[in-house]
């Protein structure tokens, strides 16, 4: 039969309470030593009896070191919790602040678009009108500035194109001039060749006549000799 659940409560008998304290204290100190050895943990145990007597256990007899570490950890944890609470509060406040700003901006935007004007009085409508007129003035100023900049850019491009056109016209005129010179030089060469040919033909013609005369004279001499020879024979 299993052991029933023991209800924990203060032992009324003084002697039994002291005996139980001694037994449980020894067992608790033993368990603290075991967990420090088995798990390589730093353990600090402090026990005060009902008479105020101190019983303590610490790993490697460095109770002060463990207590200092505990105090630092406890203080850091408190600071962290406090900082988190403060940060959370600040974030909530910032959220409400930003939400109000967004709602105000959305409301102003609707007014500028001509919506939800029923809630505005005469003074607020006049202020809205002045704001729109001022906005239109800035818009027109910016538009005119952009138009002037665009015109200046187009003028600059026009000037650049005109200069480029002048350069191209100059190059074209130089090419045409070179072509005309080449054509003139070709015609001059043709004329020179024609003149040389005519000169050669004219120089060759008298030589041919002289040859014919010489040939004719030789033939006449030969004929005369033949006649003279024939007469002598007769």
CB atoms within 10 A of CB 111: 19
- Average the pLDDT over each of 52-66, 125-139, 155-169, 207-221 and give the range with the smallest value: 207-221
Q: What's the start-to-end Cα distance of the chain, in Å?
A: 199
- Strand-pair partners of 183: none
Report the pLDDT value the prediction gives residue 209, as an integer from 0 to 100: 46
What would the DSSP string read from start to end of 163-179? HHHHHHHHHHHHHHHHH
Report the pLDDT value the prediction gives residue 56, as an integer from 0 to 100: 86
Report the pLDDT value the prediction gives residue 151, as an integer from 0 to 100: 94
Percent of the chain surpassing pLDDT 70: 75
Average pLDDT for residues 213-218, to the nearest whole number? 48
Tell which wins on pLDDT, 26 or 83: 26
Name the H helices within the chain.
14-38, 63-112, 122-233
Domain limits, the chain: 11-61
CB atoms within 10 A of CB 107: 13
Work out the pLDDT band at 187, boundaries 50, 70, 90. Answer: confident
Percent of the chain surpassing pLDDT 90: 22
Q: How far, in Å, CA of 18 to CA of 12, rounded?
A: 10
Report the pLDDT value the prediction gives residue 91, as an integer from 0 to 100: 76
Q: How far, in Å, CA of 19 to CA of 6, rounded?
A: 18
Average pLDDT for residues 155-170, to the nearest whole number? 93
Work out the pLDDT band at 88, boundaries 50, 70, 90. Answer: low
* pTM of the full structure: 0.35
Q: How far, in Å, CA of 72 to CA of 200, rounded?
A: 128
Cα separations in angstroms, 87 against 77, 90, 187: 15, 5, 101
Please check the confidence at residue 62 and state whether its pLDDT lies above 90: no
Tell which wins on pLDDT, 62 or 165: 165
Per DSSP, the three-state class of 56 is strand
Tell which wins on pLDDT, 52 or 145: 145
Please check the confidence at residue 226 and state whether its pLDDT lies above 50: no
Report the pLDDT value the prediction gives residue 148, as an integer from 0 to 100: 94
CATH architecture of 11-61: 3-Layer(aba) Sandwich (3.40)
Work out the pLDDT band at 193, boundaries 50, 70, 90. Answer: confident
Token output for 160: 């650049």
Work out the pLDDT band at 141, boundaries 50, 70, 90. Answer: very high
- The answer to whether the CB of 45 falls within 8 A of the CB of 56 is yes
């Amino acid at each position: 039969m299993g052991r029933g659940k023991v209800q924990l409560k203060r032992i009324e008998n003084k002697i039994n309470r002291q005996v139980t304290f001694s037994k449980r204290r020894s067992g608790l100190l033993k368990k603290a030593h075991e967990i420090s050895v088995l798990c390589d943990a730093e353990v600090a145990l402090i026990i005060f009896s009902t008479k105020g007597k101190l019983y303590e256990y610490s790993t490697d007899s460095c109770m002060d070191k463990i207590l200092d570490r505990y105090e630092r950890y406890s203080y850091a944890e408190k600071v962290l919790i406090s900082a988190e609470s403060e940060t959370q509060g600040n974030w909530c406040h910032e959220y409400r602040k930003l939400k109000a700003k967004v709602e105000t901006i959305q409301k102003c935007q609707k007014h500028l678009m001509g919506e939800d004007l029923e809630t505005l009085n005469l003074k607020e409508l006049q202020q809205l009108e002045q704001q729109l007129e001022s906005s239109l003035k800035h818009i027109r100023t910016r538009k005119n500035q952009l138009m002037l900049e665009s015109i200046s850019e187009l003028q600059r491009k026009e000037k650049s194109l005109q200069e480029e056109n002048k350069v191209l016209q100059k190059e074209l005129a130089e090419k045409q001039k070179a072509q005309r010179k080449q054509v003139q030089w070709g015609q001059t060469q043709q004329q020179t060749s024609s003149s040389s040919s005519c000169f050669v033909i004219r120089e060759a013609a008298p030589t041919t006549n002289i040859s014919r005369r010489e040939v004719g004279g030789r033939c006449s001499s030969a004929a005369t000799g033949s006649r003279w020879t024939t007469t002598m024979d007769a």
